[in-house]
A and B are shown apart, each in its own frame.
Chain A
């Protein structure tokens, strides 16, 4: 019973490429989040969305943008990938009444 699905488990991209990370949830949740996880730094919030077409910056939005055209899909966009964006990216979905659900993560390497 997969609830949050990220489009790729592993990605390798070149510096300067535009990169799309997709996240889909099947729980009709209003809130969706994108985090990155780096050793020693924990989960850091990049962007979140609390409704269709609504978004808010998290702690580290620089170099990223997001899109939420449909309730079930939240996309993270790296406009011009750089090597310091090499990281594990985690999507989460939350309906406020209970726990959050996470995708399996995308390990992105920018070369």
Chain B
């Protein structure tokens, strides 16, 4: 079983705070790293697909960085809003197969 770790497991922040999460994955056989947001009673939806070392992607107030050599990715949320409350999942994909390896997720609660 391949290990993908996310930290923290859960987070409570005040509206307007900025926050960040970490995803750690193996540094060998890298193909891609995905970030997904999973809101309660909905399906997970993709935030970012990252494939190159040093990638930085941004979507509104949310951004992500990727370091494939050391095996980590950061997700940043600037000025958190209540609608950002969700579980954030990262998924590591190897270049030697078609499997997604998900982390256990970071549960974010933004308090108004």
Q: Would B99 and A43 count as touching, CB distance under 8 A?
A: no
Interface string of B29-44 (1 = CB under 8 A from A): 0000010100000111
Is B99 a contact partner of A45 (Cβ separation < 8 A)?
yes
Q: Mark B17-36, 1 if CB is under 8 A from A, else 0.
A: 00000000000000000101
User: Is B46's CB under 8 angstroms from A99's CB?
Assistant: yes
Q: How far is the CA of A42 from the CA of B2 in the complex (A)?
A: 14
B: interface residue count bin: 10 to 19
Interface size counted on chain A using CB atoms at 8 A: 27
The 8 Å CB contact of B100, one of A30, A41, A92, A103, is A92
Query: Nearest Cβ distance between residue B1 and chain A, in whole angstroms?
Result: 5
Q: Which residues does A use to contact B, with CB under 8 Å?
A: 4, 30-31, 33, 35, 40-43, 45, 48, 50, 56, 58-59, 90, 92, 94, 96, 98-105
Name 8 interchain pairs, CB-CB below 8 A, sorted by A.
A33-B100, A41-B104, A42-B89, A45-B101, A48-B99, A90-B44, A99-B36, A101-B46
